[in-house]
Amino acid sequence: MASRRRRDQWPKLCAMVEQDDGLPVQVYGQWTEEKLHFWNRYVEITTAAMVGHPAWAAGLVYVDLFAGPGVCAIKESGRRLPGSPLIAACAPKPFREILLCELSDESMHACEERIRRLAPECSATFFRGDCNERIGDIVRRIPNGALTLAFIDPQGLDFSFDTIRRLAQRGRVDLLILIADAVDFARNVDTIYYGSLTLSSIAFSVQIQTGVPGGVLWEILRVLGRGASSPTSTRIGFGNWDIFNSARRRSRRVGALSTD
């Protein structure tokens, strides 16, 4: 007999945080609900399939480099949503380790309080400070042979490419990285560039902020700019976090955008 489809836990998670608990929240635009909803589905599906699987005898590990306070609020409606740490802590099948890093002491305290109250049985370790400085401590907590799910959702270009490299080198890691170009990168276009804005200069700016090799970035931006496919991969895109489109919009204020 076919197994019954697992019920989506998202409504239950939202109901769990709908009452104001007096702790701080992060306020975002309405797109955040869609992002968190689909991340929750990914976590549910992956843990359901992989927790207890013989290929991952060491279990599953969750890493969040920008954990925040654990609850988000939608600016337009005030609707409260579970943040990524609570999504992981309430997964139907538990992670072996949940590793959460947060720079703000206030946000980290709120996240700890909420996880202790709403998911007391989960195994969560908190790292206060800059994730680029704490990455060594974080990867040391990942057991050999584990499957790691890493959620990297900064409010700006606040991560170093070396941080991602060190995380990716620690066994099998599924990475979801959201590039917040509309917040950080596009703002720096006005600060840095006055005159002609080129794809080479865009790549150089992001390289300075993140450490990603400039040649890699330039190729991504060139592909996005011309709407073509890379000779070595399928079409590359960032969805709502599309660096090129953001820069192109802002370039109207600072000069002509050249794709040459």
- Asked if pLDDT for residue 161 goes beyond 90, the answer is no
Domain presence at residue 231: yes
Q: Is residue 191 domain-shared with residue 228, that is, in the same domain?
A: yes
Of residues 178 and 55, the one with the higher pLDDT is: 55
64-102 confidence digits (pLDDT tens): 999 999 999 999 999 999 999 999 999 999 999 999 999
Q: Which of 67-76, 116-125, 166-175, 182-191 has the lowest mean pLDDT?
A: 182-191
181-200 confidence digits (pLDDT tens): 555 555 454 444 444 444 44
Integer Cα distance of 25 and 140 in angstroms: 29
Q: Of 187, 181, 249, whose CA–CA distance to 210 is shortest?
A: 181
Q: Is residue 164 domain-shared with residue 62, that is, in the same domain?
A: yes
Supply the pTM of this predicted model: 0.73
Q: Is residue 173 domain-shared with residue 192, that is, in the same domain?
A: no
Residue finishing a domain among 157, 177, 197: 177
Q: Is residue 79 domain-shared with residue 200, that is, in the same domain?
A: no
DSSP letters, the chain, are -PPPPPPP-HHHHHHHT-S--SS--EEE-THHHHHHHHHHHHHHHHHHHHTT-GGGTT-EEEEESS-TTSEEEETTT--EEE-HHHHHHT-SS--SEEEEEES-HHHHHHHHHHHHHH-TTS-EEEEES-HHHHHHHHHHTSPTT-EEEEEE--SSS---HHHHHHHHTSSEEEEEE---IIIIIHHHHHHH--S-EEHHHHHHHHHHHH---HHHHHHHHHHHHHT---TTSS----GGG-HHHHHHHHHHHH--EE--
Domain presence at residue 33: yes
Residue 85 near residue 67, CB atoms below 8 Å = yes
Q: Is residue 17 domain-shared with residue 65, that is, in the same domain?
A: yes
Domain presence at residue 54: yes
Of residues 177 and 204, the one with the higher pLDDT is: 177
Q: Of 11, 12, 89, 91, whose CA–CA distance to 46 is shortest?
A: 91
CATH value at residue 168: 3.40.50.150
What pLDDT is stored for residue 151 in this prediction?
94
Domain presence at residue 216: yes
Q: Is residue 108 domain-shared with residue 201, that is, in the same domain?
A: no
Report how many domains make up the chain.
Answer: 2
Domain that holds residue 189: 181-258
Domain presence at residue 4: no
Of residues 242 and 160, the one with the higher pLDDT is: 160
What pLDDT is stored for residue 154 in this prediction?
86
What pLDDT is stored for residue 183 in this prediction?
53
Q: Is residue 229 domain-shared with residue 249, that is, in the same domain?
A: yes
Q: Is the dihedral of CA 185, 150, 225, 205 positive or negative?
A: positive
Integer Cα distance of 172 and 145 in angstroms: 8
